[in-house]
Amino acid sequence: MLGKRSFGEKIFDGANIVFLILLVVATLYPCLYVLLASISDPAEVAAAQGLLFIPDKLQLGSYALAFSNPNIITGYVNTIIYVGLGTALNILMTLLGAYGLSRKYLYGRNLFMFIIVFTMFFSGGLIPMYLTFKALGFYNNLWAMIVPYAINAFYLIILRTFFQSIPDSLEESAKIDGANDFVILFRIMVPLALPAMAVVTLYYAVDNWNSYLRGVMFLQDRSLYPIQVILREILIQNVVSAQNGDITSEVAENVKYATIVIATLPILCVYPFLQRYFVKGAMIGAVKG
């Protein structure tokens, strides 16, 4: 049982609570402001002073302008496909690589890990990568958005560290019962690794959702563009329209807020379903090196 807390400890706890509340407000309010500004009248937002807690003259004109672009729905569909297929391939490849590299009996695993870690500090650069994958046929097609980014070295290390923390006796007992490596991986290791896999899945999903750079590098066909590239085009079009006098600068600013919401809201909706695994899985990867 905990003893009675001293006056100094209560003061310290109170100061921590106040600090954390201020930190939460400072973190969440910009997101709230962007959301409220995107559904408010542009002129009212431009004229407003101070904090914004409720919409000023509720309107959805900025979203109507954003969705008036005929490519935005196509971009959303493309991004969903890239996120779905890409994340599935990411998890499969990372899972196989992490499990293999975590086994002590794998010959040369330290050399393999050195090569993998080396790529985290040194790379050939964007131009050699572009030329290499274009020569391999991963250009201006669906797989150009998925295959070049199949494995992230950092996420592989997280899963490898988790697998290393699982007692070897589980694997040994399964082998005695006649299980092979695939049975051990998918029927024993994967259920135990769900918290860590949830974290890595979220990381990969966010990376695939924010696939702007790879879309610019590897795609020319507009029908294959992800939503991030389409949203950037919308922002540029509205800036040009504002300069030409077709729309006001206030409207262009509100469209910018709307595109931020459009780009971030779907991935934010996924997070609550993985939150219960997130803290546990993130901490597991830091327990054992």
Per-residue pLDDT tens digits for 145-166 = 999 899 999 999 989 988 888 8
Q: Is residue 19 part of a domain?
A: no
- Give the model's pLDDT for residue 28: 87
Cα–Cα distance between 210 and 212 in angstroms, integer?
Answer: 6
Token digits for 129? 């990568």
**Token pair of 204 as six digits:** 């990969």
Instruction: pLDDT band for 54, please (50, 70, 90 cuts).
Output: confident
Model pLDDT for residues 22-50, shown as the tens digit of each residue: 999 898 888 888 888 888 887 777 777 77
End-to-end CA gap in the chain? 34
Amino acid at 243: Q
- Considering the chain, what percentage of its residues have pLDDT values greater than 90? 24
User: Could you give the CA distance from residue 36 to residue 252 in angstroms, rounded to a whole number?
Assistant: 15
Phi, then psi, of 229 in degrees rounded to 5: -70, -40
| pLDDT score recorded for residue 42 | 79
Decide: 228 and 263 in contact? Cβ < 8 Å.
yes
Instruction: Say if 41 falls within a structural domain.
Output: no
Look at the chain and report how many structural domains it folds into. 1
Note whether residue 3 is domain-resident: no
What is the residue range of 93's domain?
Answer: 60-289
Residue 175 lies in a domain: yes
Token pair for 222: 């507009």
Q: How many Å is the Cα radius of gyration of the chain?
A: 24
Closest CA to 133 of 242, 51, 218, 43: 218
Listed residue (199, 108, 126) closest to 156, CA to CA: 199
Q: How far apart are CA 214 and CA 230, in angstroms?
A: 13
- On whether residue 14 sits in a domain, the answer given is no
Whole-model pTM: value is 0.81
Q: Give pLDDT tens digits for 171-193.
A: 888 888 888 888 888 888 888 88
Q: What pLDDT sits at residue 232? A: 84
174 vs 182: CA distance, rounded Å: 11
Q: Give pLDDT, residue 288.
A: 46
Residue 116, judged by CB atoms within 10 A of its CB (0-12, 13-18, 19+), counts as middle
pLDDT in tens, 76-126: 899 999 999 999 999 999 999 999 999 888 888 889 999 999 988 888 888
CATH of the domain at 110: 1.10.3720.10
HSE value, Cβ hemisphere, 13 Å, CA-based, for 157: 17
Residue 185 lies in a domain: yes
Residue 28 lies in a domain: no
Does residue 107 belong to any structural domain of this protein?
yes
pLDDT at 286: 47
Calpha distance 170→163 (Å, rounded):
11
Q: Would you state the structure tokens that stand for residue 103, as one six-digit string? A: 């086994």
pLDDT tens by residue, 204-234: 998 999 888 888 999 988 889 998 888 888 8
